[in-house]
Amino acid sequence: MQAALIAGVYEFPERKTARSPLEIQALSARAALADAGLGLRDVDGYFTAAGPSGTGPLPVLDYLNLQPRYVDGTSIGGASFVAHVHHAAAAIAEGRCRVALITYGATPRAQGVAVGTRGRGGG
């Protein structure tokens, strides 16, 4: 059984940005992989709940030109990415993939959305 470890991380630095969620995920993915000494070509497992308009991982895979052996689009709200860490560790341990990439990207603040509230209009 192969042990899993977190080898690279990156947090997108801009809180207000004109970049799309796909751009944020692509930039963050490349930076996290570089932090681990890897590139997109090394990725054979991909995990996200953050496709545009709830479409899951497929648009992100296309945008990054990834063709991994293993894909997980579990979406259970704010805990999705905690679950993805567990799922990635299990996939690595089971030999389903060797390099798992987990991404997320959203722009609620840039769009004027107050996350976790009723929004700016109140009500």
- pLDDT tens-digit profile, the chain (123 residues): 778 889 999 998 887 888 888 899 999 999 999 999 999 999 999 999 866 666 779 889 999 999 999 999 998 888 898 999 999 999 999 999 999 999 988 766 545 555 555 555 554
| Rounded distance between C-alpha atoms, residue 107 and residue 120, angstroms | 15
Report the run of H or E that residue 102 belongs to, with start and end.
strand 100-102
pTM, entire model: 0.81
Tokens coding 25: 């995920």
For domain 21-102, say whether CATH 3.40.47.10 is its number: yes
Q: Parse the chain into domains and list their residue ranges.
A: 21-102
| Rounded distance between C-alpha atoms, residue 103 and residue 26, angstroms | 8
Coil/strand/helix, residue 33: helix
| Rounded distance between C-alpha atoms, residue 22 and residue 79, angstroms | 20
Tokens coding 19: 């970049």
For the chain, how many residues are written?
A: 123
